[in-house]
């Protein structure tokens, strides 16, 4: 795809991830823009709810302004046979002026934890200022909108699903919600909350206690917005998506305003970091210049239509591999994010060195049949302190289903320890004790493996990577070895073999990207488990087959994809 084509495809009304910004263009142009979406794609319509406010209490869905005519919009979508759904912001939305709040209730600007106002550049470099959701008028206005919108949907028999969306930004490796606020509006709300929750007075002299109370107040308000939306729009409500906006946050606003702007490398690094953290991203804030070639390719190839529809549960995946490539990973890590436990015990470092972008950190265990079948082959790590009774029981079930579980028992509650011992005895589990760097128990039940280890003892050990090295040898995970610089990015996918490829177990594709302005070399060693099959779409890149793998040369902004057949060990 050329730069010219990219430019043609960039449309401020369709800024990415199949979103449609109806308020960004004249209603007379909606139809021409809608037909530009590929027929099969679901169209996501973020609701700019403040835009529909005709006064503090009246809501307009087309009676006054044609650009607010959501009935006409839905009729156009139906007329062209497009599937669509609404996205309702439940926090300030960075891509909307005032964060989505109407001018009648936008009173107090949101303040971030460093004391600066939350202001974000949109994809046209307009500065969107976020307003506090803790201002009582905002909630009143929000409930007013929900009521009017619910009536509008009911009256016009519009049955499209509605997703709630909470928006986040990353700053220096930490995730922050756009709900978080340190403004006077927040302080006033917090003071009312304290009076109500602690009628006899609360002791907030300790800054830590105060911070904890503020966090729980923020969470309660967030839940209030969620619950109110769900109650008002119940029949159409699908749930809440957490979305990380690329290019948002006070620090990002500064860097994006500079003449040099944020580099492709910077954005690519963010995207891959969010991928590892299992965060769903939005590129709606990025301009054409920022979203040029390489970034566009990465977004299209790995966060495109299929991934979007899977994320919003429109498309399931079969537990068996199919002819279409799907994302491939080997490890899922649950919990341990809050105190960076996985980093402390050296697990992340090991995975970064050996299974880069083949692992993901998850917030919670999605214990449902589809997920269990789909992720059967992945190793699953759990951290003791983060377990509740349900997750603990689910871990044991997964083990009994034949899955491979690793449990860091440091910080595991006494009750869980007891349950674990009873479980092992009752089920007559075969246990091997190993004392290598830290006491480790290898439990086996059929194909199931449960590895119990004490992570605390690894924290201070300078050669802890050796522990993981040995442990992973036990699991015998085979994967081509990639030798590359830190600023080269890869994404693996997998598919079933076709009739002509029966000598292989599966086929794996690696996409390699060079977002730097330097020439880079990458070497892939196949280690007698993989055979190089072909290269796909090399752009400013070349690949050469060697006796033990493939040598690749990537020019600046170059990319290539390579297919490997996976065969059994000789």
In this complex, which beta carbon is closest to other proteins, that of residue 57 or of residue 289? 289
Task: To the nearest 10°, report the CA torsion of 280, 303, 26, 31.
Answer: -130
Stretch binding other proteins (CB under 8 A), from 64-72, 225-233, 250-258, 437-445: 250-258
Q: Exactly one of 32, 36, 216, 257 binds other proteins (CB under 8 A); which one?
A: 257
Out of 36, 126, 191, 390, which residue is the one contacting other proteins (CB under 8 A)?
A: 126
Tell whether residue 251 is a contact of other proteins (CB under 8 A). yes
Whole-number Å distance between alpha carbons of 243 and 83: 21
Question: Judged by CB, which is closer to other proteins: 126, or 353?
Answer: 126
- How many angstroms separate the Cα of 504 from the Cα of each of 184, 272, 402, 532, 563? 63, 29, 24, 11, 12
Report the run of H or E that residue 538 belongs to, with start and end. Answer: strand 530-546
Pair of tokens at residue 58: 């009246």
Decide: is 260 part of the binding site for other proteins (CB under 8 A).
yes
The verdict on 121 binding other proteins (CB under 8 A) reads yes
CA distance 412 to 183: 38
Using CB under 8 A as the criterion, what x/- string covers residues 38-67 for binding other proteins? ------------------------------
Cα Dmax for the chain? 77
3-state secondary structure (DSSP) of residue 346 = coil
Select 81 or 115, whichever has its Cβ closest to other proteins. Answer: 115
Q: State how far the Cα of 320 lies from the Cα of 334, in Å rounded to an integer.
A: 24
Q: How far is the CB of 518 from other proteins (least distance, A)?
A: 17
CB atoms within 10 A of CB 239: 12
CA 436 – CA 366 distance, rounded (Å): 32
Residues 6+ apart with CB under 8 A from 522: 482, 483, 484, 488, 512, 551, 552, 553, 554
Near other proteins by CB under 8 A, which window of 118-126, 383-391, 493-501, 537-545? 118-126
Distance CA 28, CA 436 (A): 70
Report yes or no: 316 and 306 within 8 Å, Cβ to Cβ: no
Nearest distance from residue 257's CB to other proteins, in Å? 5
With 0-12 CB in 10 A as exposed, 13-18 as middle and 19+ as buried, what is 422? exposed
Residue of the chain from 91, 253, 403, 516 that contacts other proteins (CB under 8 A): 253
Tell me if 516 contacts other proteins by CB under 8 A.
no
Size of the site for other proteins (CB under 8 A): 24
Residues 38, 81, 115, 201: which binds other proteins (CB under 8 A)?
115
Contact between 255 and other proteins (CB under 8 A)?
yes
Indicate which single residue of 7, 78, 125, 447 sits in contact with other proteins (rule: CB under 8 A).
125
In the DSSP assignment, the letter for residue 11 is: B
Q: How far is the CB of 174 from other proteins (least distance, A)?
A: 15
Judged by CB under 8 A, does residue 254 bind other proteins? Answer: yes
Nearer to other proteins, 140 or 257 (CB): 257
Asked if residue 441 binds other proteins (CB under 8 A), the reply is: no
Site string for other proteins, 193-212 (x = CB under 8 A): -------------xxx----
Nearer to other proteins, 257 or 421 (CB): 257
Q: What is the DSSP string of 40-77?
A: TSPEEEE--GGGGBSSSS-B-SSSS-GGG-HHHHHHHH
DSSP string, 502-514: TTSSEEEEEEEE-
What is the closest distance, in whole angstroms, from the C-beta atom of residue 119 to other proteins in the complex?
Answer: 5
Q: Which residue has the tokens 């860091």?
A: 408
Minimum CB distance to other proteins smaller for 121 or for 312: 121
Nearer to other proteins, 255 or 445 (CB): 255
- The DSSP code sequence of 141-173 is HHHHHHHHHHHHHHHTT----EEEEEEEEEETT
Residue 101 interacts with other proteins (CB under 8 A)? no
- DSSP character for 97? G
Q: Tell me how far, at minimum, the Cβ of 259 lies from other proteins, in Å.
A: 6
**For other proteins, the closer CB: 249 or 329:** 249
Conformation bin of residue 549: beta by default, left when phi > 0, alpha when psi is -120 to 50: left
Token representation of residue 19: 């979103």
Nearer to other proteins, 116 or 194 (CB): 116
Nearest residue (CB) to other proteins, 127 versus 425: 127
Of 119 and 471, CB closest to other proteins: 119
Matching residue, tokens 């308000």: 221
- From candidates 87, 111, 244, 561, binder to other proteins by CB under 8 A: 111
Locate all alpha helices (DSSP H) within 198-285, ordered by sequence. Answer: 207-232, 250-257, 264-276
Judged by beta carbon, residue 26 or residue 205, the one nearer other proteins is 205
By CB under 8 A, is residue 265 in contact with other proteins? no
**One of 116, 194, 372, 442 touching other proteins (CB under 8 A):** 116
- Binding-site ranges for other proteins (CB under 8 A): 109, 111, 114-117, 119, 121, 125-127, 129, 206-208, 250-251, 253-255, 257-260
């Amino acid at each position: 795809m050329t730069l010219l084509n990219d430019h043609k495809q960039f449309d401020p009304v369709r800024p990415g991830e199949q979103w449609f910004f109806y308020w960004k263009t004249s209603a007379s142009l909606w139809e021409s823009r809608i037909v530009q979406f590929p027929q099969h794609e679901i169209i996501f319509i973020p609701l700019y709810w403040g835009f529909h406010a005709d006064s503090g209490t009246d809501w307009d869905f087309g009676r006054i302004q044609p650009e607010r005519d959501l009935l006409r919009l839905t009729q156009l979508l139906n007329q062209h046979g497009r599937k669509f759904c609404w996205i309702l912001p439940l926090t300030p939305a960075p891509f909307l002026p005032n964060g989505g709040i109407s001018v009648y209730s936008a009173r107090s600007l949101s303040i971030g934890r460093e004391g600066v106002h939350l202001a974000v550049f949109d994809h046209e470099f307009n500065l969107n200022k976020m307003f506090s959701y803790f201002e009582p008028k905002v909630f009143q206005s929000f409930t007013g909108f929900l009521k009017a919108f619910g009536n509008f949907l009911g009256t016009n028999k519009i049955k499209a699903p509605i997703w709630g969306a909470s928006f986040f930004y990353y700053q220096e490796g930490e995730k922050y919600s756009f709900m978080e606020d340190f403004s006077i509006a927040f302080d006033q709300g917090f003071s009312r909350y304290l009076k109500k929750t602690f009628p006899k007075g609360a002791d907030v002299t300790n800054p830590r206690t105060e911070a904890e109370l503020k966090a729980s107040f923020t969470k309660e308000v967030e839940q209030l917005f969620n619950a109110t939306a769900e109650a008002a729009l119940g029949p159409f409500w699908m749930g809440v998506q957490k979305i990380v906006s690329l290019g948002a946050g006070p620090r990002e606003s500064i860097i994006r305003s500079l003449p040099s702007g944020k580099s492709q490398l910077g954005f690519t690094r963010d995207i891959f970091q969010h991928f590892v953290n299992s965060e769903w991203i939005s590129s709606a804030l990025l301009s054409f210049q920022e979203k040029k070639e390489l970034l566009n390719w990465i977004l299209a190839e790995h966060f495109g239509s299929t991934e979007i529809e899977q994320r919003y549960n429109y498309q399931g995946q079969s537990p068996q591999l199919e002819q279409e490539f799907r994302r491939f990973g080997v490890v899922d890590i649950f919990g341990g994010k809050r105190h960076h436990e996985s980093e402390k015990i050296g697990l992340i470092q090991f995975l970064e060195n050996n299974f880069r972008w083949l692992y993901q950190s998850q917030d919670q265990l999605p214990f449902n049949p589809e997920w269990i079948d789909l992720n059967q082959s992945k190793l699953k790590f759990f951290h003791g302190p983060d377990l509740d009774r349900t997750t603990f029981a689910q871990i044991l079930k997964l083990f009994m289903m034949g899955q491979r579980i690793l449990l860091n028992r440091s910080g595991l509650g006494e009750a869980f320890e007891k349950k674990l011992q009873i479980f092992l005895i009752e089920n007559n589990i075969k246990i091997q004790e190993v004392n290598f760097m830290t006491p480790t128990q290898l439990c086996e039940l059929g194909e199931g493996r449960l590895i119990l280890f004490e992570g605390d003892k690894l924290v201070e050990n300078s050669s802890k990577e050796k522990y993981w090295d040995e442990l992973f040898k036990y699991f015998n995970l085979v994967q081509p070895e990639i030798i590359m610089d830190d600023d080269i990015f890869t994404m693996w996918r997998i598919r079933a073999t076709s009739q002509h490829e029966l000598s292989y177990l599966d086929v794996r594709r690696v996409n390699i990207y060079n977002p730097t302005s330097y020439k880079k070399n990458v070497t892939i060693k196949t280690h007698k488990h993989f055979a190089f099959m072909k290269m796909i779409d090399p752009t400013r890149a070349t690949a050469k087959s060697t006796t033990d793998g493939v040598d690749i040369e990537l020019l600046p902004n170059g990319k290539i994809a390579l297919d490997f057949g996976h065969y059994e060990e000789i």
